[in-house]
Amino acid sequence: MTSRKIVLTGVSRGLGRALLDGFIEAGHTVWGCARSADQVAALQEQYGEPHHFAAVDIADVDAVSEWANHLIAEHGTPDLLINNAAIINPNQVLWEVPPEAFHQVTSVNINGVYHVLRAFLPAMIDQSNGVVVNFSSGWGRSTSSHVAPYCASKYAIEGMTQALAQELPSGMAAVPLSPGVVNTEMLQSCFGESADQCATPEEWALTAVPYILNIAAEDNGQSLTTP
């Protein structure tokens, strides 16, 4: 497969870190972001050029725009854009979730995805080429108690991505992708030790990396789930 330029948010841990390692091992170039400057610096030191990592809070529209403009001007247009970064609320019934916690979830999980799309898509559309993968969740297609804000955010990703798919030019694709149930810090916050029964991010990435790389124009608008 031809080497591709991949934008990936939330690269410092969990699914994002596992994808990062997998994409680079497969010979692709990754431009990633995370909020932790220390973790980003460590990634840059580990991988170096042509990969680029930046400390960016995707909830900050100006920071995202600056990051995207620099990458596109210096390195060109991405072929694959993956919105992975997300957070989850502390386990609580909806009416007891503090407003700041609810707003933080939607600011990152919905607004942040929009900010990244807004920043990178025009250049991709100019080339009528590229794939957008917005991470959804099983909780974007079903619900559970005590995670209502997170469910709301992932249902929003499903709807926003499918609407986007109708707007893209022929030859491009946008898909909401559920990773399935993986033993991440977010899953542990909900399920505790029982999360240990699920696949690790590294195990998940063994099939997720080739699966994502094979998403193409004919998949546009489909709600997908990694094997």
pLDDT digits (tens, 9 = 90+) for 116-137: 999 999 999 999 999 999 999 9
The mean pLDDT value for 147-170 works out to 97
Q: Is 150 a catalytic residue?
A: yes
Residues 2-40 as b/e (b if ≥16 CB within 10 A, e otherwise) read eebbbbbbbbbebbbbbbbbbbbeeebbbbbbbbeeebb
The pLDDT value recorded for residue 180 is 85
The pLDDT value recorded for residue 225 is 97
The pLDDT value recorded for residue 226 is 95
**3-class SS letters over 7-66:** EEECCCCHHHHHHHHHHHHCCCEEEEEECCHHHHHHHHHHHCCCCEEEECCCCCHHHHHH
Q: What is the CATH number of domain 5-216?
A: 3.40.50.720
The pLDDT value recorded for residue 93 is 97
The pLDDT value recorded for residue 56 is 98
* Extents of the domains making up the chain: 5-216
The mean pLDDT value for 214-227 works out to 97
Catalytic residue among 47, 114, 150, 211: 150
Average pLDDT over the chain, rounded to an integer? 94
The mean pLDDT value for 38-65 works out to 98
CA-closest candidate to residue 66, choices 119, 106, 26, 4: 119
Q: What is the pTM of this model?
A: 0.94
Instruction: Please tell me the distance from the alpha carbon of residue 173 to that of residue 191, in angstroms, as a whole number.
Output: 34
- Neighbouring CB atoms inside 10 A of 144's CB total 12
